Amino acid sequence: MYKIPEELRDLPEADRLRRAQAAFTAAAKEGRNLTFENEKRVRLVGERLRNAQNELGKAQKAFDLATGEPKPVGLTPAVVEEIGKHFPAAQHDFIKQILDQECGRPIPFCREATAQELEYIRLCVLRLSKGNLSELRKYVELANIDQRDVFWRRDR
């Protein structure tokens, strides 16, 4: 805040400046307090959301195990071709199985997706894996948490 020089403190404008500074300081303090209150609330809501999301995931997995859902939709020719670029022929059937069963409709918001709609996710996972089975599993797992994690990776 601007410190009013002693010789100018009796001016009407100085009085107005002091009142404006006091009002600003009070508003800033109120805003700061509100921010801290909201920060606590945001954390609480975020924690509730994470817990609900975890429970939803567990419930969905239990339902899927009990019912055999979601049904696999197959792979597009582009995905099959990409498997051939990154993995030896002896592993092709196993990789196809992983992609069809674990990197498809089980991904959040993809339960009704077609093979064509899943193609980009699967291509990203294959390219990120660079032919390494454990890396493939890692990226499939990431896609099942949030598919954006495999879309925006720089190591493709």
Q: Please, is 49 exposed, middle or buried when counting C-beta atoms within 10 Å of its C-beta (0-12, 13-18, 19+)? A: exposed
pLDDT tier at 134 (50, 70, 90 boundaries)? very high
Compute the distance between CA of residue 71 and CA of residue 89 in angstroms, rounded to an integer.
25
pLDDT one-digit tens code per residue, 30-79: 877 777 777 777 677 677 877 777 777 778 778 887 888 888 899 999 99
Q: Residue 97: its pLDDT value, please? A: 95
Helices 77-86 and 115-129, interaxial angle, to 10°?
10
Residues 6+ apart with CB under 8 A from 79: 99, 115, 119, 122, 123, 126
Mean pLDDT (the chain, rounded): 86
What's the gap between Cα 123 and its chain centre?
19
